[in-house]
A and B are shown apart, each in its own frame.
Chain A
Amino acid sequence: MSLISTHNLTLRLNGQMVLEDVNIAIEAGEIVTIVGPNGSGKSSLLRVLIGALKPTSGSVTRAPELRIGYVPQKLQIDATLPLTVRGFLNLPRRKTGAVVATALTQAGVTDLARKQMADLSGGQFQRVLLARALLDKPDILILDEATQGLDQPGSAAFYRQIEDVRSEMGCAVLMVSHDLHVVMAASDRVLCLNGHVCCEGTPEIVADAPEYRALFGTGTQGALALYRHEHTHSHDHDHDHHHKHEAHDAG
């Protein structure tokens, strides 16, 4: 069975339709990227999947004993809260030093355990969040705009780290990006979300299209820019809109 799946998932927040009839399923070991414009419900979908939001209707099915590693969109640690990296990784359950060290190494930041969270650079901070998500040996990693605030090389390096983690640990990865131009070449599937799932497909098909190579090049070491998408409608969630899906044309 799928690790996690939704069935006719509908979500309203403060009277606003955020997600409508969303059906997705994530299989073991695959990397799925969700793209979509701002306000398309990407983060809300992830929050439903981790259990932070309850669906208005429809359902979420998780595999029994499913372990989820979650990397939030951003984490604002109040300046009044002193916290070392080790202390952060020990929340909410204390881990042994060896477990903490292993997770930090897997995330590519071996020597940071004693540093204050407030003293980390943006890239280090994201990797520590990744390390935290890896602590419980997750079956699926869920990342919400994990490269927000990182520069282009920083993002590319972070995505390579995710690929390394996946090949080492074999976990599934579900990522969200609002950046339509940077989607991992390693994604097995790309889901386009705009309140509902507009389309999905393999990025390779798109990557082979000459106009995309011309537009974005072949990218840096696997972090390819290869998906172009235009939404010409207003975002009033009535879904009465027109899409131009080059991905389908190319396929």
Chain B
Amino acid sequence: MLDDFLIRAGLAGIGVALAAAPLGCFVVWRRMAYFGDATAHAALLGVALALSLELPVFGGVLLVSLAMALIVSGLNGRSVSTDALLGVMAHGALAIGLVAVSLLPNQRVDLSAYLFGEILAVTKTDLLIIWGGAAASVALLIWRWQALLAATLNPDLATASGVNPRREQLFLTLALALTVAVALKVVGALLIAAMLIIPAAAARPFSRSPETMAIMAAIIGTVSALGGLAASFTFDTPTGPSIVSTAAILFAISAGVAPALRR
């Protein structure tokens, strides 16, 4: 069954959708869109590092994304306005990553594969990594769920209840780096943040609790992955962007029916 590249692609898409759903909810609730961008864009730098040191790409990406996420979450704790700074980090990481990849000696790197993903080229090993990483990220979030929610609502309230908001933020940072590393192959560095944010945002109108929102986001993400894959196959369009386009259409539909749901 796994010998069919379409089945492998579908499973990879579902794996990423499941990892991105609960994490994406936190990204939306905590208004960390730029944070996601910066971490995802740093993945390119990780690719350059891994290729130049002949390390596995997954490891290089995980390492650099984690470093970037830690730096950014350190900045987040400051009282100075971080919006512009996060913008600098997000776009700077992307540009420097592109330059770094182009500087690799004797390497003909297919840049678009890292920018937009190449889900159709997912191997069995990739699949193992994607599902392993996704499972780790989801397990981490389920373990920390209540404490993370408390810290998200109000750091002082969390502190008074014995939850350390900075510690919880570290767990979130780790989950983000893991998800970025597994999603790179599927949707590429440019669109990872989209897979985090769009399904979660589309799930909001159908949710009355944080938990249902995460589950709805997982369903919407999965439908986007499979729908985008089918669309890409039918219309011969790039797969990563097709998946994100499908998610965006689902978001538009969700936003359209939202007012009716509130009545």
Contact = CB atoms under 8 A, between A and B. Distances in A.
Q: Do A and B come from one complex?
A: yes
Interface of A: 13-14, 47, 50-52, 68-70, 72, 75, 77-78, 80-84, 87-88, 90-94, 116, 132, 136, 142
Given A50-B160, A92-B163, 6 more contacts: A47-B156, A81-B29, A83-B210, A88-B153, A92-B161, A132-B157
A81 B208 contact: no
A84 B208 contact: yes
25 contacts: A51-B159, A51-B160, A52-B155, A52-B159, A70-B156, A70-B157, A72-B154, A72-B156, A78-B31, A80-B28, A80-B200, A80-B201, A81-B29, A82-B204, A82-B209, A82-B210, A82-B212, A83-B153, A83-B209, A91-B146, A92-B162, A93-B161, A94-B146, A116-B208, A132-B157
Contacts of A77: 153
A14 B210 CA distance: 35
A13 to B, nearest CB: 8
Contacts of A136: 161
Nearest to A136: B161
Contacts of A87: 209-210
Interface range on chain B (Cβ under 8 Å from partner): 20 to 34
A142 B160 CA distance: 10
Which residue among B154, B162, B210 has the maximum number of chain A CB atoms within 10 Å of its CB?
B154
User: At the interface, is chain A mostly helix, strand, loop or mixed?
Assistant: loop
B159 A82 contact: no
A198 B147 CA distance: 38
Contacts of A75: 153-154, 157
User: At the interface, is chain B mostly helix, strand, loop or mixed?
Assistant: helix
A42 B226 CA distance: 54
Contacts of A94: 146
A193 B31 CA distance: 35
B150 interface: yes
A91 B154 CA distance: 11
Contacts of B207: 82
B52 interface: no
A132 B156 CA distance: 13
A206 B161 CA distance: 36
Contacts of B153: 75, 77, 81, 83, 88, 91
Contacts of A92: 146-147, 149-150, 158, 161-163
Contacts of A83: 153, 209-210
Nearest to A75: B154
A138 to B, nearest CB: 9
Contacts of A13: 79
A84 B28 CA distance: 18
Nearest to B208: A82
A76 to B, nearest CB: 8
B152 interface: yes
A80 B204 contact: yes
B89 interface: no
A49 to B, nearest CB: 9
A169 B10 CA distance: 58
A181 to B, nearest CB: 26
Contact of B157 (A72, A93, A116): A72
Contacts of B163: 92
B223 interface: no
A75 to B, nearest CB: 5
Nearest to A80: B28
A17 to B, nearest CB: 16
A77 B207 CA distance: 15
Contacts of A132: 157
B93 interface: no
Contact of A52 (B28, B150, B156): B156
B146 to A, nearest CB: 5
A193 B207 CA distance: 44
Contacts of B161: 70, 91-93, 136
Interface in B30-44: 30-31
B29 A80 contact: yes
- 9 nearest A-B residue pairs (beta carbon): A70-B160, A92-B150, A91-B150, A50-B160, A52-B159, A82-B207, A81-B29, A52-B156, A92-B146
A50 B146 contact: no
Nearest to B156: A52
B52 to A, nearest CB: 40
B213 interface: yes
A81 B147 CA distance: 15
Contact of B160 (A52, A84, A93, A116): A52
B213 A82 contact: yes
Contacts of B204: 80, 82
Given A81-B152, A82-B208, A87-B209, A50 B159 contact: yes
Contacts of B208: 82, 84, 116
